[in-house]
Structure 1
Amino acid sequence: MTGDRDRGAGRLEVPAELAVEVDRLAGSWRTNEALPRLWEGDAGLWTGADESRWLGWLEVGGSGAALRAVDEIVSRVAELAPRDVVLLGMGGSSLGAEMLAECLPPVPGAATLRVVDSTSPPTVQAVLDAIDPERALVISSSKSGGTLETRLLTRIFEQRVDERRFLAITDPGSELAARAQRRGYVATVLGDPRIGGRFSVLSPFGLVPARLAGRDVEPVLDGAREMAQRCLDTEPSDNPGCLLGLVLAAAARSGRRKLGFRVAPGGQAFGAWLEQLLAESLGKRGRGLVPVVAWPRGAVDVLELEIGASLPPEQLGAAGLRTAVGDARQLGAEIFRWQFATAVCGAVLGVHPFDQPDVEAAKQAARHLTEAMQRRRGDSAGPFEGPPFETSVRSGGIRLLRPAVEGAAIGGGRAPGLRGDGGEDALTQQVERWLARVPADGYLGVLDYLPGRGAAARAGGELAQRFATRYERAAAWGRGPRYLHSTGQAFKGGPALGHFLLLVDGWRGEMRVPATSEVCAGLLLGDVQRAQAAGDAVALAERGRPVLVLEVSSSDPAALTRVQSLLA
């Protein structure tokens, strides 16, 4: 490996086999004056589409204007004296704020930030049970104002918390902005429409919730501005953001199409934010880097990344990249460096880093299924029976399912090599036979729609680790529906290397979408979540990604244990 090329911003230890390609790319960027073109917003640097419309994040808070606006909102909300700040938002509307809250120390007496980015009934109920409605502030956060999960969660929390204790964060002209005005929310904070969700952490979407939860964000902005100044350097090898982007692009182009996340204490939320930034920005047109959480030792197709608050050198194995986020200024610098690197890598790979073309497919499939549920449910008050899933094999509290959507070629049904007969041996054999098909250069994506608490919260991640150990293949893990707004783009649009195991919850609870909701009115929230899982299974299958769906009840400890035993 070459020596350190960090230039004071994280560690860039470039594997020797990438060094030649990195130098070649740097020479090309130097010759083509690509860095000045990036700062000038030349869309031709990427795909020639509308990339120039999405570069507002380069301004890093508008020279203090963003922080002043944040402080005005904090002052206005102070009289509510919130003990809990509940953030309802998906993807970039919550991951950035959650990352700031985890990485920054709270001031004494700060409110607790509770992020709700799930349609799992137990997860939502746990937050409802934990808050005092008279001491809570609820933030409904959505750039478009129409995000399905945020709309449903907002309607549910409006039934519990006075709407005068709600705050909206959205872009100008959205449905959410109009609703906030009609319903008397305490305030509406408008974002910059030139900044996409995953690049919005240093805008109101990240800064406002973090400040309301008692975090000092000014040093973060200072660190980001300092890094932005360094990224003005027109020499690619001296520009920390550009150099990192070229390393990522060189890895992807040379066959290292997986980015292995090794996360130390204090870096979990930064890792989740970075997963979305890279996967949703670069995973398209069959290109990009797929974030994985487990992989065989010495895997030649994995570029390793260490993330943590403090990473002493002796803790680093053969990792190629290192990101430490131990203090606020360093955190801000790393946020901007990775955003800039993502834009650079997208240009080299020839993809549009600011769109997400494959995300909408799963949304449309889920919408079709929920509409079918509403038509067929009639006056039934219980869980919806029938679509979106049909049983293929049942055994020991686990069901092997296939989405009941016409034309969906899902591996959990009667696809080649899978039989529809029942019994414990049949289930185990079919799952093992399917897992064995993951090729040596592929990966298993474990996508779980189980509650984010208790034993169920650990099931998906443990399965990914077990698979990597037993089959010596890489594994990714995503919790649904969160991953649909994050790594889901790369799973569907990135390198076609993945097999996907979906875990859906057989316990659907009693929480219901309010009858006054504009979408999914009257449905059980658990049924909505199942439709989201089925919709993504269909979208994956339509793109040629093999899919297997298992149902396990989160309320049945024995069934959860049995799932783990499938990979014992």
Structure 2
Amino acid sequence: MTQGLTVDGAGHEDVLAALVSDQVASKLAAKDPTLWGPAAEPEASIRLGWVDLPRTSRPLLAEIEALRAELLADGVDHVVLAGMGGSSLAPEVITRTAGVSLTVLDSTDPGVIQRSLGDSLERSVLVVSSKSGTTVETDSQRRAYLAAFSDAGIDGPSRIVIVTDPGSPLASLGEKEGYRRVFLADPNVGGRYSALTAFGLVPSGLAGADIAELLDDAEAVMDSFAADSPDNPALRLGAILGGAHNAGRDKVVLGDGPGAIVGFAAWAEQLIAESTGKEGKGLLPVDVGGSSASTPGWADASSDATLAAIGAPEHAVDGQVVTDGTLGALMLLWENAVAIAGRVIGIDPFNQPDVEEAKKQARALLDNPNAGDGLAQSFVEGAVEVYGSAASSLEELFGSLGSLVPEHGYLALQAYLDRDADVDAASLRDLVARTAKLQTTFGWGPRFLHSTGQYHKGGHPNGGFVQLTGDVASDLAIPDRPYTFGSLQKAQAAGDARVLAEGRGRPVVRLHLADRKGGLTQLLAAAESATQKG
């Protein structure tokens, strides 16, 4: 190990030995695209720029610092990030760990957008971050901010910073409309591997995080990851993850230890799910957050999962993998390890063949909103409308969720709600896991569509899905678009449900809250009751 980076965990020594013998570490450091087989070679050949980012991203530091100084001199110190998936998850963990303020907009819920628009607009700069330059959520947020700036008498283009790939529509738009700055990221890096590119560094640096230190910490471990040795921490972690999958432990329970790094599991969730969840294979990440995998409940410690903790090795439990170190080092460690695990599992870790389907369905439903999600209404109880369930009450529904999927399957709770105002929805994960006796994930929509959404369609076909949707109290128009944020959110939920149920044959239940606060209270009470009886 090196520079305080540790990987504590045993098992799959035969897999590790094969990785060492095949010189996987040195070949990955040399950006060898043949490591994942002939079918993956074309994609891998244009996706390995992340390997040496701790060095190649250095020129960005002075540019970001200069822009930050300009903005502060203009009285602009409130940074808002419009981005999805890899464009938002890395900046979120970087800034939370650094203890600096960054407003992350990765939602289409009208309440979230309205609250952000009403917060310090006169001091705000909007970072619009999209690799493709066509992400509908990000484009909608950009339009809303431009209108709000104009209404407030603020020159909108001077308050917008772009991060995108060279040649994207967003890059062209930024130049055409005279936005404050356009940063072009390395196009040979996929979104989930982009933490140390402009996508991670620009919003984090503008918010005040020490991004030079982040790169320093990552660079300090680079050489150790290139060593064809069983002591290579990235090889060991990759062997544990990939070997566990091939031995039937196809889930990874991720817990943030009580250390200095905040929210790492949410970032690693996308990296693992989108990289490995395809061709009916893959590792399902189960983010238990601050509840800590060091004190797992039965569902977190079941035989189909590897327990992985970020930091706090003194709190580890038997059989748990613990990765500990600085944020930059851990990001590069997990990127290397997941790419290596992809070789062990036998998939291409750099493509995402199933992500686009839900987007296509959402676009179609925006044109034909009456089509809906195809789920029949089952019953109504108080403020909750239930669709797609054979149960006749909420308590019965929560008590029977375990029967939706086969043994060693999983449940995914998907909340198309307000991540702040409706935060209590996240409490359902633990209750459902303990009652259903299944690994259970929780994701905010449409955020998860850009991360675990790939696994839901392309990974092991043993998942069951519970959508949470809600009435919108106050909708918000999207300038120059024939739909609102509320209708976009509704179309995204319905589109994903259609792909899962009709396209993949997965069981989908939807719980719609006619009154969000009252409905959530009902759901929590019913889930708690089912847990006590189960």
Q: How does 1:32-431 map to 2 (within 5 A)?
A: 32-48=22-38, 49=40, 50-63=43-56, 64-106=58-100, 112-131=101-120, 133-161=121-149, 162-235=156-229, 237-265=230-258, 266-293=260-287, 296=298, 298-308=301-311, 311=312, 313=314, 315-318=315-318, 320-324=320-324, 330-373=326-369, 387-388=372-373, 392=377, 393-401=379-387, 412=388, 418=390, 425-426=392-393, 428-430=395-397
- What letter matches 1:54 in structure 2? R
Structure 1 distance, partners of 2:319, 2:474, is: 44
- What letter matches 1:114 in structure 2? T
Partner of residue 26 from structure 1, selected from 10, 13, 16: 16
Partner of residue 545 from structure 1, selected from 503, 506, 524: 506
Structure 2 distance, partners of 1:531, 1:190, is: 31
- Give the stretch that moved more between structures: 259-268 or 492-501: 259-268
In structure 2, relative to structure 1, the CA distance for the partners of 1:426 and 1:271 (3 Å cut) is: closer
Structure 2 distance, partners of 1:501, 1:529, is: 16
Q: What corresponds to 2:291 in structure 1? A: none
Shift of 1:434: 4.5
Of all paired residues, the percent bearing the same amino acid is: 34
- Contact 1:33–1:234 (CA<8 Å) still a contact in 2? yes
- Contact 1:6–1:12 (CA<8 Å) still a contact in 2? no
Q: What corresponds to 1:422 in structure 2? A: none
- Contact 1:296–1:474 (CA<8 Å) still a contact in 2? no
Shift of 1:268: 4.2
Secondary structure of the 1:336 match is helix
- Give the stretch that moved more between structures: 88-97 or 390-399: 390-399
Secondary structure of the 2:263 match is helix
| 5+ long unaligned stretches in structure 2 | 150-155, 289-296, 530-534
In structure 2, relative to structure 1, the CA distance for the partners of 1:30 and 1:261 (3 Å cut) is: closer
- Contact 1:7–1:240 (CA<8 Å) still a contact in 2? no
Secondary structure of the 2:469 match is strand
Structure 2 distance, partners of 1:267, 1:224, is: 15
In structure 2, relative to structure 1, the CA distance for the partners of 1:195 and 1:348 (3 Å cut) is: same
Secondary structure of the 2:252 match is strand
Shift of 1:247: 0.8
RMSD over aligned CA atoms reads 2.2
- Contact 1:172–1:190 (CA<8 Å) still a contact in 2? yes
What CA deviation, in whole Å up to 9, does each residue of 1:208-228 have, x standing for no partner? 111111111111111111111
**How many pairs does the alignment contain?**
506
Q: What corresponds to 1:491 in structure 2? A: 456
| 5+ long unaligned stretches in structure 1 | 107-111, 374-384, 402-411, 420-424
Shift of 1:529: 0.4
Secondary structure of the 1:548 match is strand
Q: TM-score, normalised on structure 2?
A: 0.90
- Contact 1:169–1:191 (CA<8 Å) still a contact in 2? yes
Shift of 1:441: 0.9
In structure 2, relative to structure 1, the CA distance for the partners of 1:434 and 1:240 (3 Å cut) is: closer
- What letter matches 1:448 in structure 2? A
In structure 2, relative to structure 1, the CA distance for the partners of 1:471 and 1:176 (3 Å cut) is: same
- Contact 1:97–1:206 (CA<8 Å) still a contact in 2? yes
What CA deviation, in whole Å up to 9, does each residue of 1:349-392 have, x standing for no partner? 1111111111111111111111213xxxxxxxxxxx66356651
Structure 1 distance, partners of 2:342, 2:487, is: 37
Secondary structure of the 1:94 match is helix
- What letter matches 2:25 in structure 1? L
Structure 2 distance, partners of 1:391, 1:512, is: 29
Structure 1 distance, partners of 2:223, 2:99, is: 26
Shift of 1:262: 2.0
What CA deviation, in whole Å up to 9, does each residue of 1:84-106 have, x standing for no partner? 10100001111111111011244
Structure 1 distance, partners of 2:339, 2:313, is: 29
Structure 1 distance, partners of 2:218, 2:174, is: 31
User: Is structure 2 residue 417 aligned with structure 1 residue 450?
Assistant: yes
Q: TM-score, normalised on structure 1?
A: 0.84
Structure 1 distance, partners of 2:398, 2:366, is: 28
- Give the stretch that moved more between structures: 121-130 or 480-489: 121-130
- Contact 1:199–1:339 (CA<8 Å) still a contact in 2? yes
What CA deviation, in whole Å up to 9, does each residue of 1:502-558 have, x standing for no partner? 1011226221111x2xxxx131211110110111112222223211111014x5422
Shift of 1:428: 4.6
Partner of residue 465 from structure 1, selected from 426, 430, 437: 430
Secondary structure of the 1:551 match is strand
What CA deviation, in whole Å up to 9, does each residue of 1:101-143 have, x standing for no partner? 011244xxxxx31110000111111111212x22111111001
- Give the stretch that moved more between structures: 352-361 or 53-62: 53-62
- Contact 2:470–2:516 (CA<8 Å) still a contact in 1? no
Shift of 1:31: 2.9
Shift of 1:193: 0.1
Structure 2 distance, partners of 1:248, 1:427, is: 37
- Contact 1:293–1:464 (CA<8 Å) still a contact in 2? no
Shift of 1:281: 0.7
Shift of 1:242: 1.4
- What letter matches 1:55 in structure 2? L
Shift of 1:83: 2.5
Structure 2 distance, partners of 1:258, 1:566, is: 27
Q: What corresponds to 2:517 in structure 1? A: 557
Q: How does 1:523-538 map to 2 (within 5 A)?
A: 523-538=483-498
What CA deviation, in whole Å up to 9, does each residue of 1:275-316 have, x standing for no partner? 1111111111121211124652641111111125xx151x22
